[in-house]
Amino acid sequence: MARLLSRLPSPTKDALREARNRVLAITSYRGRDRYCPVCNKQSRKFRPYGIVKRDDAQCVHCGALERHRFLWLFLERNTDIFDTKQKRVLHVAPESCYEVRLKKQLGSAYLTSDLYSPSAMVKMDICDIHYDDESFDVIVCNHVLEHVPNDRMAMGELNRVLKKSGWAVLNVPITSDKTYEDPSIVTPQARLAAFGQEDHVRRYGPDYLERLRDTGFDVDVVFADSLVDEQLRVTMGLTRCGEIYYCRKAALPTS
């Protein structure tokens, strides 16, 4: 059954997922103890999710995970993405819980991209972005770079197409004390053992910040406790949501 479902087109899978979520919300998860800021709906708790299951992780209504709820809250409260001034926004590997909402709010200036997904607006390798310098006001690239063999090249390309006045969110999972990668590890099984997921090519550590800076970004690292208090972090499921890497182009040194 899982193999059959994997072959279905994305719109069909999304419709089936939405129908399942509605049934779950009505039956097993009816309640008000949890609140998802992405879809503005409540539930008794969030669903378990992950290769190693995390309890209280996924919204039963829209599918948003901890990192998605945190980023949406940050976008609403700490950025200008939803103000009245139109911005050209590049969303790399768009999350299903965001895509429809961002299309509706941002309109024709919103562009989705992916190297593999046929549902993205453009096919794009972020190591070779076919857009001019300073093409985008905003770039959202959330949990993508851990899949990219040459992440520094990708960071450089994202920096190149970002406007001087723009900003980017370039989040990755931090799962190690120091970034670990080994290009000789290529099989899905070996990558799962080494990096925690079959399609990851590295584990990032806090030194990820230096990689971003080395490729021309100024970076602010934002944690959930700077946005909401402890009770709301529990209610919104933000107690293990990671951090946000909010990036702007570093100013060029003056001669």
What integer pLDDT is reported at residue 30 of this predicted model? 87
Say if residue 86 is in the same domain as residue 209. yes
The answer to whether position 72 is within a domain reads: no
Whole-angstrom CA distances from 58 to 24, 69, 97, 193 are 12, 9, 11, 24
Residue 226: pLDDT over 80? yes
User: What letter would DSSP give residue 29?
Assistant: T
Residue 9: pLDDT over 90? no
Say if residue 115 is in the same domain as residue 230. yes
Say if residue 5 is in the same domain as residue 53. yes
What integer pLDDT is reported at residue 147 of this predicted model? 97
Say if residue 145 is in the same domain as residue 173. yes
Whole-angstrom CA distances from 95 to 106, 112, 194, 209 are 15, 10, 25, 23
In whole angstroms, give the CA distance from residue 159 to residue 46.
36
Residue 196 — φ and ψ, nearest 5°? Answer: 90, -5
In whole angstroms, give the CA distance from residue 141 to residue 136.
13
Say if residue 221 is in the same domain as residue 143. yes
Per-residue tokens: 169: 């969110």
Q: What is the mean pLDDT of the chain?
A: 92
Residues 188-216: what's their mean pLDDT? 97
Residue 198: pLDDT over 90? yes
Report whether 238 contacts 72 (CB < 8 A): no
What is the share, in percent, of the chain residues with pLDDT greater than 90? Answer: 83
Report whether 120 contacts 139 (CB < 8 A): no
Q: Spell out the residues 6+ positions from residue 254 whose beta carbon is closer than 8 angstroms to its own.
A: none
Residue 1: pLDDT over 60? no
Q: State pTM to two decimals.
A: 0.88
Residues 12-23: what's their mean pLDDT? 68
CATH assignment at residue 128? 3.40.50.150
In whole angstroms, give the CA distance from residue 90 to residue 196.
28
Per-residue tokens: 8: 């279905």
| CA proximity to 89, closest of 81, 97, 98, 79 | 81
pLDDT tens track for 103-132: 999 999 999 999 999 989 999 999 999 999
Say if residue 56 is in the same domain as residue 84. no
What integer pLDDT is reported at residue 72 of this predicted model? 98
In whole angstroms, give the CA distance from residue 138 to residue 34.
30
Residue 242: pLDDT over 80? yes
Task: pLDDT band for 179, please (50, 70, 90 cuts).
Answer: very high
Say if residue 156 is in the same domain as residue 244. yes
| Residue span of the structural domain in which 4 resides | 1-64
What integer pLDDT is reported at residue 18 of this predicted model? 67
Residues 233-254: what's their mean pLDDT? 91
Q: How many domains does the chain have?
A: 2
Q: Which of 15-24, 66-75, 99-108, 187-196 has the lowest mean pLDDT?
A: 15-24
What integer pLDDT is reported at residue 69 of this predicted model? 98
| CA proximity to 236, closest of 73, 26, 75, 61 | 73
Task: pLDDT band for 51, please (50, 70, 90 cuts).
Answer: confident
